[in-house]
Structures are given as C-alpha cells and as structure tokens.
Amino acid sequence: MQISDGWLDASKRLGRRWLELAGNGDPNISPQGDTHMRFMIMIKATADSEAGKMPGPEVFEAVGKYNESLVNAGILLAAEGLHPSKKGTKVKFSDGKPTVVDGPFTEAKELIAGFWIIKAGSLEEATEWAKRCPSPPKGETELEVRQVFDMEDFGESFTPELREQEERHRAQAAAQQ
C-alpha cells in the first residue's frame, strides 16, 4: 500500500515524538516503564502498489484510524510506506563484492510496500494488532509480523564493547532526529 508524501512527512515528525514518549529514544521502554519487544508488521506489495497506483481516500482514512489506535495504545514506534521497486535497487554481495541491480523486481508478492514498528508483549499480541489492520475492499492483502532483534538476543557474541558501541550509535541517531 502506498502512502502519500504528506503523510510520510507527518509520520516522520510523529515518529520522533513517539520515540521520545517511549523513553528517551529507547523503543523498548514504554511510557509506563514496561519492557516490550518490538515487532515489524510488513505489508506485502501488490500489482497495484508496484504499479504506483495509490489506494482511494477510504483506504487512507481507514489506515489513519488504525494508526491512531496504535498511537492511543502507546505502541506505535514507526509507520512508513515504500515506493514501488522500480524506484529502488538491490545490492547483492558475492565473495564480498557488491553488485547493484536496478528495480523493478519481478516477484511483487515477495516485496514490501510498507511497515509499522510496534511495541508488544508477545508475538501473539503483535499478531492481534496486525489482524486489526484495515484491508482494501477488493483483492487480498498480506501482512507479515516479525520480532525485531534486541541487543540481548545476540548472546555472548555481542560483547560489552559492541553493546556500548551500539548504544552510542543509537543515542547519536536519536539526537540527529
């Protein structure tokens, strides 16, 4: 599903505020101080989204209400739409050497048209939120829900030095927004 540029600009501004509300830029801490996992809800591309065809106003209105419910629940961290793959590239690495492939890409069903990042206590909770997402009145829409890695998930390979480095990078990135 494509999202308008105006909506994207507003989303970016609100995204910074959501991160602030989530606890000084830490997307794992809710305003109440609870620890939550982060999940990405990805909306798969369709032939229409890959063609750059925008949905009607009723879809934007429904998605706006859905986003509002996520904000009101205090769980929305980000929400963005993506341009069709014809405006993108893939970078493939073979034996450490990059090769750039220009879009469009052929398998629309494997492409992502947009995403939400939310906080939830479990995959089941995130899935329940995904099930509330509005779908277009015609055709099929597919969402995929995946947990986002947290530093603790990487185990011993992610040394204390690497953790400190990652925390510095996150703090710098948050300050630049």
Q: In this predicted model, what pLDDT tens digit does every residue of 145-175 receive, in sequence order? A: 999 999 888 999 999 999 999 999 989 999 9
Mean pLDDT across the chain:
83
Give the residue from 120, 105, 137, 104 showing the smallest Cα distance to 41. Answer: 120
Taking the alpha carbons of 55, 56, 59, 62 in that order, is the dihedral positive or negative? positive
pLDDT at 76 over 90: yes
pTM summary value: 0.77
The sheet with strand 37-44 has its strands ordered as: 76-81, 112-120, 37-44, 143-147
Reported as a pLDDT band with limits 50, 70 and 90, residue 138 is confident
Domain ranges within the chain, ordered by starting residue: 5-150
* Neighbouring C-beta atoms of residue 40, cutoff 10 Å: 17
Domain 5-150 fold is Alpha-Beta Plaits (3.30.70)
| pLDDT score of 106 | 81
